[in-house]
Amino acid sequence: MAHQAAKQQLDGSPPSHGDSTKDSQGESGLQTERQHKEGGETDSLACTSHVLSEMSAARSHRWSNLLTAAQLYLLGLKVLLVQLFTRPFRLPVMPRQDGKVAIVTGGGKGIGFEVVRHMARLGAHVIIGGRDEQEGLAAVRRICEEYKQAKVEFKKLDLASLQSVHHFVQSFKQLELPLNILINNAGVMLVPEGRTEDGFEQHLGVNYLGHFLLTWLLLDTLKDSGKCGHISRVVNVSSSAHRIGTVRLNDLNSCQCYSAHAAYCHSKLAQLLFSSHLHQELQRRGSPVSSCAVDPGMVDTALYRHLWMPLCLAQSAFAHLLLRVKHCCDFRLPYSHVRDGKDQLV
């Protein structure tokens, strides 16, 4: 075979058909290898571009989160300075609330507890809705020890569970009581990323959606109770943090980039918009119910426990001296100092 190939080369005769096939296969292999190499380079460039894009987006989100946190803390400082250098609001003598029934969410501690305590002293029948049964029952005992005639009771309510909200409303309606005042006070602030039982971001689920459903399910009872000459009232305990929030309809659960500071602000804005819209709808239909929002300012409660540790310690020490809960949340209900309707968004 080797001899024949050498002879062909010396004679100048063309190569055999077998050799031509081998050469063709060699050229095809080189072309395929070149295509694979070019395709690999294209994939590598696309992958690098994608990684750089993700890094840029992550950096942008990180700066956005830092900016939101800085805005929230600056706003808190502004609120604090206003409270310190403004003459305290003095309440007039409040009327008795005998025969009135009120529900206060998160009434086992903090602002909610002081509201329950104050309303019970005025003669209202108050129902505490809370997640911690032991804490709620302890609050009931404390108030009843202070005011022997107090009408206070506790019912289980977990705003992070829509099923729990339904059970609470069903349990309340079985009492066949009127409902004159609904105070949506409970809330969470700056909690770590997590989801409610129904899959919603925690701030959105507890601060807004849970209270939204609770109000909606109790609205008929509120309307019926307001027909006796006195309007019923829905009071949402809001926050000036709504000024920093935005409503992102394409990312309500903050899946794209989570920031506890931003999530809290978004939930408070949603709560305020709900309160405003509900008030306008009720007024348009002539319903005997009013929807209000009240900002208690900066108060010494456990709400701040998720702050950055140095700030948490500073806030705790400072608040204990100057921001006593009793002095800050003793607002008038159901004639509280509130902002109704469009004024809420100022």
Catalytic (active-site) positions: 264
Report, in this order, helix, strand and coil percent for the chain, each rounded to 5.
60, 10, 30
Residue 235 and residue 237: Cα distance in Å, rounded? 6
Residue 209 and residue 20: Cα distance in Å, rounded? 77
Residue 203 and residue 7: Cα distance in Å, rounded? 89
Degrees, nearest 5: CA angle 88-94-100: 130
Burial class (CB in 10 A: 0-12, 13-18, 19+), 321: exposed
Give the containing element (helix H, strand E) for 44: helix 17-85
Buried b (16+ CB within 10 A) or exposed e, 325-343: beebbbbebbebebbbbee
Residue 78 and residue 90: Cα distance in Å, rounded? 22
Q: Are 59 and 253 in contact (CB under 8 A)?
A: no
Q: E-strand spans in the chain?
A: 101-105, 125-130, 151-156, 181-184, 232-237, 289-294, 339-340
Residue 38 and residue 41: Cα distance in Å, rounded? 5
Dig out the tokens for 107 from the structure. 């009434």
